[in-house]
Structure 1
Amino acid sequence: MTFFSIIISVYNKEKCIKNTIESVLNQTYKDFEIIVINDGSTDGSEIIISAIEDSRIKLITTKNQGASNARNTGIKEASSNYIALLDGDDSWHVEYLQHMYDAICKFPNLKIFTTGVSQNYKTKTVPVPYSFSQSELYGIHNYFKASKKNTLITSSSVVFNASIIEKTGLFDTSIISGQDTDLWIRFGMHFEVLFINKQLVYYNFNESSLSNTTYELSKKPKFDNYLTEERTNTDLKLFLDRNRYSLALLSKLQDDQKHFSFYTSHLDSKNLSFRKSFLLNSPKWFLKLLIKIKSLQGEKIYYPKS
């Protein structure tokens, strides 16, 4: 049995999938299998993947069912105790798996491991800032406390023990965009997270990717599965309210009063800063102006530009 099972979900990534897979094959730590789930790509992704000759690669092609189904399929096919997720347009530093292996050996009782992420844009690379300070190589964190600014876990920077799925479940296939956040919530409700203080993952910004183009609120998480738990878990409540705030802003931008009312009805205004409260009550034109200004910086935005 190999030590890591690496799950790569792919949908129309012909321009970057070779680089993604090669970033795995070039790892200094070699004991792994790669399970690539081609989620019904209509471009040349499958041809490119098939042309890469390495016995550790297993390609599974399915009809297009979305990232949740693709990742779940890969996890179910995994033969290793440790699952590493990687999106089809991201990449790893050559020592990513070695650092993960070292952390697992040093902290055998922990189940979830992650590391720093850098965002690659056309003209610059920007390390993702976090809401905590960590000077040591290793730090053990509460997911919700550590994700006040940016999420501690991403779908290209997480390794977890397969046994936790019995408690957390898999990705929710009913959520089209934001399904990863929903799973991280369940991870955080049950387990602490080991953070490796190194930039070892590269998120390659792509304006056409699903997370940057999906604005339909019906496809977003509702977070109503956690109404009971958040009553007694203050950290969870704060985390959920920050996400509800973001989706309430999106609702306002889309003139969607139904979703705006839904998210704000579950949101405790005491958990919002003055700035967030101000924005939540600002007119649509003002929000669109702020988004336009941010888009000129060439960095990821979370709401439509127009």
Structure 2
Amino acid sequence: MFFSIIIPLYNRPQEIKELLQTLVNQTYMAFEVLVIEDGSTLDAKNIVASFNDKLDIKYFVKPNEGQGFARNYGFERAKGDYFVIFDSDCLIPANYLENVKNHLYNQNLDAFGGPDDAHPSFTPLQKAISYSMTSVFTTGGIRGKSKNAGGQFHPRSFNMGLSRKVWEKVGGFIITRLGEDIEYSIRIHEAGFVIGLIPNAKVFHKRRTSFTAFWKQLHFFGRARINITKFFPSTLKLVHFFPAIFTLGLLFSLIANVFSWQIAVICNLLIIIYFVLIFFDAWNENKSIKVAFLSIFTSLIQLTAYGFGFMQDYIKKIIFNK
């Protein structure tokens, strides 16, 4: 089984160096790497070239069109039986491809995804962001489930694989951002292919490294959910409204503190209980009080940024059809 690993890249040379080093350490080496420089002004040509004697690696430069179309560019040039997509801010455990290969031999999947986690080397903030994006106390907790409250399992493009026959029948991404991976997964499902979660195909995902950048990313994710709904209206589920409901509840609580202390007491108590649960769960998972404390803020951002982005485009695109 031969894999083609496809990595879109935009102005992140240092990230690609760390990612490529983890690929050098893979226990299963039947793979090629295609790095697609998507119109970067800060390129990684020399860094990629330094791995020529360590990996079967190819470097391509194209005009900037976004990550979805950069992946398509890689698909068109890949030789593998399976195409594996990584984001440049991921670190790949040494047994990743071995685990995927063994799983695919035992259970035929046309496309797959895997979970993400925080690496021990990550900063406390990166670990807190990872917690909020994977916790059962936030909507991030449904992302790594084989079947979740949102319906079918949809692999995410930071850790996603598909067979060559999927590419040949379904084609590639038709939107380059704003939920392009979920839209693609839905079309793969509708074409009759089998998609599954490989639980031990885990990657370490760095994500954003500041509260501000994390807010912008999650606000974008909320808008992306509505963009997907424009293609597939039936995929909008109750769970997708949870961040918006939480955000409205938080705003209601703030207003209640001004106009009704009785209601404010109840609202504030519920919010405190919720964040206490997050604190102790994050502490138990990371064994760090600092990470647990930061997880309160990253979880708040995870829900409210997504909620505001979701409501913004729901009003604009669904209600007013703009």
TM bucket (normalised to shorter chain) is 0.5 to 0.7
Partner SS, residue 191 of structure 1? coil
Q: Which amino acid is the alignment partner of residue 103 of structure 2?
A: A
Q: Does 1:91 align with 2:91?
A: yes
Q: Which structure 2 segments of 5+ residues have no match? A: 136-140, 256-267, 279-292, 309-322
- Contact 1:113/1:195 (CA < 8 Å) preserved in 2? yes
Structure 1 counterpart of 2:186: 185
CA distance in 1, matches of 2:35, 2:177: 20
Q: Does 1:226 align with 2:232?
A: yes
Structure 2 counterpart of 1:257: none
1:172-205 superposed Cα distances (whole Å, 9 cap, x missing partner): 23x5332222222323444343323336211112
Partner SS, residue 43 of structure 1? coil
Q: CA RMSD in A?
A: 3.9
Matched-pair identity in %: 23
Aligned length, in residue pairs: 253
Q: Does 1:204 align with 2:206?
A: yes
Structure 2 counterpart of 1:29: 28
- Contact 2:6/2:71 (CA < 8 Å) preserved in 1? yes
Partner SS, residue 186 of structure 1? helix
- Contact 1:90/1:204 (CA < 8 Å) preserved in 2? yes
- Contact 1:119/1:202 (CA < 8 Å) preserved in 2? yes
Relative distance call for 1:286 and 1:198 in structure 2 (3 A) is: farther
Structure 1 counterpart of 2:38: 39
Relative distance call for 1:156 and 1:299 in structure 2 (3 A) is: same
- Contact 1:117/1:201 (CA < 8 Å) preserved in 2? yes
- Contact 1:114/1:195 (CA < 8 Å) preserved in 2? yes
Alignment of 1:277-288 (within 5 A): 279-280=247-248, 283=251
Alignment of 1:4-15 (within 5 A): 4-15=3-14
Deviation of the 1:216 alpha carbon: 6.3
TM-score (normalizing by structure 1): 0.68
Relative distance call for 1:149 and 1:117 in structure 2 (3 A) is: farther
Structure 2 counterpart of 1:101: 101
Relative distance call for 1:210 and 1:101 in structure 2 (3 A) is: farther
Q: Greater strand percent: which structure?
A: 1
* Higher gyration radius (CA): 2
Deviation of the 1:17 alpha carbon: 1.0
Partner SS, residue 223 of structure 1? helix
Q: Greater helix percent: which structure?
A: 2
Deviation of the 1:101 alpha carbon: 0.5
Q: Which amino acid is the alignment partner of residue 37 of structure 1?
A: I
Q: Which structure 1 segments of 5+ residues have no match? A: 135-140, 231-235, 250-275
CA distance in 1, matches of 2:252, 2:152: 25
Relative distance call for 1:113 and 1:199 in structure 2 (3 A) is: closer
TM-score (normalizing by structure 2): 0.65
Q: Which amino acid is the alignment partner of residue 116 of structure 1?
A: P
Q: Which has the higher contact order (CA 8 A, sep 6+)?
A: 2
CA distance in 1, matches of 2:9, 2:39: 8
Deviation of the 1:218 alpha carbon: 11
1:98-139 superposed Cα distances (whole Å, 9 cap, x missing partner): 01111111123x2122323103551247563554999xxxxx
Greater mean alpha carbon deviation, residues 118-127 or residues 56-65: 118-127
Partner SS, residue 166 of structure 2? helix
Deviation of the 1:73 alpha carbon: 0.5
Deviation of the 1:64 alpha carbon: 1.6
Deviation of the 1:24 alpha carbon: 1.4
- Contact 1:119/1:205 (CA < 8 Å) preserved in 2? no
Partner SS, residue 203 of structure 2? strand
1:25-73 superposed Cα distances (whole Å, 9 cap, x missing partner): 2110000010100112222423322232235100001122111111110
